[in-house]
Amino acid sequence: MPNSLQPPTTEPLRASLSDADDRIFLNRWMPPQKGIAPRIRIGRRWINTLWSLPIAAAALLCLIALAQSLRELPMVEVFIRQNPGIPQSAAAVDAGFPWWLQLQHFLNMFFMLFIMRAGLQILADHPRLYWGRDCTPGTDWFRFQVPVPKDRIWTAKDDSVTLPTWLGIPGLRHTLGLSRWWHFSINLLWLINGIAFYALLFSTDQWRRLVPLTWEVFPAAMSTAIQYASLNFPVDEGWTRYNGLQQLSYFITVFIAAPLSIATGLMQSPAISNALGWFGRVFNRQAMRSVHFISFAWFVAFILAHGAMVFVTGIRQNTNHMFAGVDNASWSGFPLFLLAMGILLSTWLVVSPFTIRYARLVQRVGAFMIGWIMGLAEGWDPRSQLTKKDISPYFWPNGTMPNSKEFDDLVAENFTSYRLRVSGLVAAPREFSLSDLKAMSKQAQITTHFCIQGWSGVAEWGGVPMRDILSLVKPTPDARYAVFYSLADGADGGRYYDVHKIENMCHSLTILAYEMNGAPVSVLHGAPLRLRCENELGFKMVKWVAAIEFVRDFADLGAGQGGYNEDHEFYGYRMPI
């Protein structure tokens, strides 16, 4: 009699999974690759942004000369007398700089340090920016990488560049798995600080500093700009109210650049972009990524200008205001300012080496802080589809190609003996040939692929819905995850695999694709079969699928993190954001 309590079949490919290091060993990590000085494309010409340094220096000198001669004109003197710089409508606040404002100012500075450095590291993983939704080589408007080579397969991973450890977090190359934990976790803290800041601003009279109430702010800003530029500085009433230029630049930073950064950051995620429907299609990932970067550039410019002004307009008074909350001629603020700078500098020095040494810990703490929020977004069934005319002329290839006789033989016989094994916690384990799958009802969909590295592309995919596979093999109530095993190894050896919650398999656009843009999926893009799970980042969509196993837990697979990149590159196993 057949034993109905037979242990469930286990997938033989389990044995080819590998363990992974819990830290980054430089000799085993992806070899470094230098980028180039950032370039901006104007028309067909690429201009090196380093030119902006001498040009800005020359422009500054000209500006000073111009402003000084302007101030000799009676007309301009009259204008400045009528518009001394502080809008007359600006009511002074009562309390100077209360303790909460000083604290939030420091926290903001502290958090920004992580956010900006980790953000730059993420950018270095696809060091190009575009406006259109395609990432077709040559359509980038900004890059710090050479043009895409045409004489060889050039994957997105090949394209990533190294950042020094003092600049990026954690520096090195293709470390964005770790950068993302810093970027998103600290963003959450920054957001909380920002919300508390807004709340306190508007529940006190401090908002009056920042919000211009009349058009008078523009002539006032013009007047202050001329006064600063002529090196004959305007009267400073910073303790209780700001001049026009301060008001405008602080307003833009607090009420435009910060919310814009958050919105454009979130809109780069597959789950959020999909959930936004037409809005996500129009304001596509690449445009959002470009705006996100421009907003970053604003912050850099703001910090440099603001920092310089703190020094040149009276460091003692300014640090008394912002670090001690007093408006007098004492030295009470300056030591506190030095202490704050010391904390910033030592954190700056420590964070990259720490991340490299304790990579697994950073992954774990990051998942604790924001992985669960990301997990929530997995529940949204992505349905946003595009049209045939949106299909990208170029779709970046990525990942580690199959490199085995087994695979070459399959290609040579056009996958006739290929079998997809489905096993594990299922009532009816099965093998499917390619023609079995093609005989099932086919689903076609035109969707955007969101690679974690930053590129995206639109393609039409055709294949078998995973929910149809599920209804054939019938996962048992114990089954919580589907493990996808590839025919290809990952970059560090050991088989490529990835784990999805079963709920992800039930979304309407989750399919096993055997067609791409109307033709059989090419070997480059995952032949004979690759997963499409549209609410996740690209690395979760295993190419060259060999087998699917349903399991209760994934802790005993590979290094136990839920997938190859999760094990080896410290990604999270739920990454719809």
Ligand X SMILES: Nc1nc2c(c(=O)[nH]1)N[C@H]1C(S)=C(S)[C@@H](COP(=O)(O)O)O[C@H]1N2
Residue positions counted in the chain = 577
Separation CA 350–CA 348 (nearest Å): 6
Stretch of 181-189, 396-404, 425-433, 462-470 contacting ligand X, by CB under 6 A: 396-404
Collapsing DSSP to helix, strand or coil, 488 comes out as strand
Calculate the alpha carbon distances from 7 to 3, 347, 376 in Å.
Answer: 9, 52, 33
Would you count residue 541 as binding ligand X (CB under 6 A)? Answer: yes
Q: Which of 114, 242, 496, 554 binds ligand X (CB under 6 A)?
A: 496
Collapsing DSSP to helix, strand or coil, 64 comes out as helix
Which position has the token pair 């007359």?
88
- Binding site partner of 170, from ligand X, Mo ion, none, Cβ cut-off 5-8 A by kind: none
Q: Count CA atoms within 13 Å of residue 320 on its CB side.
A: 14
Would you count residue 242 as binding ligand X (CB under 6 A)? Answer: no
Would you count residue 177 as binding ligand X (CB under 6 A)? Answer: no
Would you count residue 494 as binding ligand X (CB under 6 A)? Answer: no
Residues contacting residue 345 through CB under 8 Å, at least 6 positions apart: none
> Least distance from C-beta 562 to ligand X, angstroms?
14
Separation CA 190–CA 102 (nearest Å): 15
Stretch of 83-91, 138-146, 167-175, 391-399 contacting ligand X, by CB under 6 A: 391-399
Size of the site for Mo ion (CB under 5 A): 5
Q: List residues bridging with 462 in a β-sheet.
A: 444, 515
Nearer to ligand X, 291 or 487 (CB): 487
> Least distance from C-beta 496 to Mo ion, angstroms?
12
Site for Mo ion in 372-401 (CB under 5 A): 398
Stretch of 121-129, 273-281, 324-332, 536-544 contacting ligand X, by CB under 6 A: 536-544
According to DSSP, residue 256 is labeled: I
- Binding site partner of 486, from Mo ion, ligand X, none, Cβ cut-off 5-8 A by kind: ligand X
Nearer to ligand X, 9 or 400 (CB): 400
325: left (phi > 0), else alpha (psi -120 to 50), else beta? left
> Least distance from C-beta 362 to Mo ion, angstroms?
20
Residues contacting residue 554 through CB under 8 Å, at least 6 positions apart: 481, 483, 499, 560, 562, 573
Site for Mo ion in 447-466 (CB under 5 A): 451-452
Collapsing DSSP to helix, strand or coil, 363 comes out as helix
Would you count residue 400 as binding ligand X (CB under 6 A)? Answer: yes
Separation CA 209–CA 447 (nearest Å): 46
| Element holding 122 (H helix, E strand) | helix 99-123
Would you count residue 544 as binding ligand X (CB under 6 A)? Answer: yes
Closest of 420, 431, 408, 445 to residue 523, by C-alpha: 408
> Least distance from C-beta 3 to Mo ion, angstroms?
43
According to DSSP, residue 462 is labeled: E
Q: 351, 110 in Cβ contact below 8 A?
A: no
Site for Mo ion in 203-222 (CB under 5 A): none
According to DSSP, residue 554 is labeled: -
Nearer to ligand X, 57 or 411 (CB): 411
Stretch of 368-376, 390-398, 421-429, 473-481 contacting ligand X, by CB under 6 A: 390-398
> Least distance from C-beta 139 to ligand X, angstroms?
17
Q: Give me the residue whose beta carbon is nearest to ligand X.
A: 399
Site for Mo ion in 532-561 (CB under 5 A): 538-539
Q: Supply 401's token pair.
A: 């190609």
Q: Which of 221, 288, 437, 451 binds ligand X (CB under 6 A)?
A: 451
Would you count residue 17 as binding ligand X (CB under 6 A)? Answer: no
Q: Which residues bind Mo ion (CB under 5 A)?
A: 398, 451-452, 538-539
* Interacting residue ranges for ligand X, rule: CB under 6 A: 395-400, 451, 486, 488, 496, 525-526, 538-539, 541-544
